[in-house]
Amino acid sequence: SYTTDTKSREENKKTLENLYSLSVDITKIRRLKEWVLLQDVAYVKEIAGILQEMGADETTVANIIERCPEAILHTPAEINTQRALWQLVCQNEKQLIKLIEQFPESFFTTEYQQNQKANILFFQELGLKNNIITRFLTSAPNIFYNPVEKNKNVIETLQRNYLNLGGSEANMKVWILKLLSQNPFILLNTSNAIQENLEFLQKNDFTDQEVLQLLSKLKGFIFQLNSTTMQESMLFSKDIFKCSHQELKQLVLKCPALLYYSVPVLEERLEGLLKEGVSIAQIRETPMVLELTTQILQYRIKKLSALGYDIKSGNLESLNGTKKDFEVTYGKIQSKKERPIFNPVAPLHIED
């Protein structure tokens, strides 16, 4: 309900005075969201007071308002309700204020408070730990805006499919919680989209066990795809690697990236590797390298080349993995290079 028409309006003097008294950098607000300063009503002192009650010092209050100026347009009642909601999953107010400082936009979205509360309670019932729910509140706030029935529906679809694919009742809860904590955005999909994607895999001759394996490997990304893009990516890979349908299936199970990256992304990454002198045969042997961006691959190849490691004749396995995995691999190659060929043990001369 806030107006963003800035041409004929003047900044609210009272708002400016209150912001100055809190040492807020008003030029930042003008640059970011000047329309906030034009509103007739703002609750600067009240919102600052609530934040201070929670333990925020002057610098923290100023920082929060600078990053999320629209915070001052919410009524104290709305913010106190939001505070009570987030306290359902926060250990204490110290943790809460830290989260607000890091993710002010998530905290100051107050339009869906009933849905937020119902979803927090639903996730707790489901068995998600509070620290995971707070992570969702800050990094995936949209999932709390859904009516709780929609989220329940998606979870029930996942549970039903898990059992239909041969998953056990005993492991289902752990599987669902792991899937959610890895990728909460699956809740933004419809039950129909989930169903269609699973059916696409089954139509492409993946066995129930293989589909389950893919679901776990994909960390839920499969639910954000659609059958058209998956089909295109699979046809592209089949053509590039000159393989049969059965061989392609094995490649996809080894590297689900062949399924969830679009053709332009796969093309760009392949091109980057070929420019470095890597062959298609090498990539087919270790397709997981396609999960890495071209920039990361170039950086890793350069580092290994500096050690005299020839990527053209070597195994691409050394390029794989997370940053930490690569550093371990790099360290092993480096120490191998530095180790002397002969390692005679010199006799010890001990003087009396």
Maximum average pLDDT range among 6-20, 258-272, 327-341: 258-272
- To the nearest whole percent, how much of the chain has pLDDT over 70? 93
pLDDT at residue 339 in the model: 60
pLDDT in tens, 202-219: 999 999 999 988 887 777
Q: Are 44 and 15 in contact (CB under 8 A)?
A: yes
Length of the chain: 352
Q: Quote the tokens at residue 221.
A: 């990304």
Per-residue pLDDT, 244: 93
- pLDDT of 159 reads 92
Give the span between the Cα atoms of 273 and 283, in whole angstroms. Answer: 8
Q: What is the average pLDDT value for the chain, to the nearest integer?
A: 88
CA 352 – CA 336 distance, rounded (Å)? 38
What's the CA angle centered on 169, arms 166 and 174, to 5 degrees?
Answer: 105
Compute the average pLDDT of residues 312-316.
78
| Average pLDDT for 132-149 | 94
Q: Which amino acid is at 63?
A: N
Q: Which of 231-235, 300-304, 347-351 has the lowest mean pLDDT?
A: 347-351
Phi, psi for residue 130 in degrees, rounded to 5: -60, -35
Instruction: Provide the residue ranges of all domains of the chain, joining segments of one domain with +.
Output: 10-110, 112-217
Nearest-5° angle of CA 344, CA 346, CA 348? Answer: 155
Average pLDDT (188-205) is: 88
Instruction: Give the pLDDT score at 186.
Output: 87
Residue 102 CA to residue 159 CA, distance in Å, equals 34
The answer, yes or no, to whether residue 152 has pLDDT greater than 90, is yes
| 3-state secondary structure at position 158 | helix
Residue 156 DSSP code: H
Return contacts of 269-274, CB within 8 angstroms, 24+ apart. 269/293, 269/294, 269/297, 270/240, 272/297, 272/298, 273/297
**In whole angstroms, what is the distance from residue 182 CA to residue 177 CA?**
9
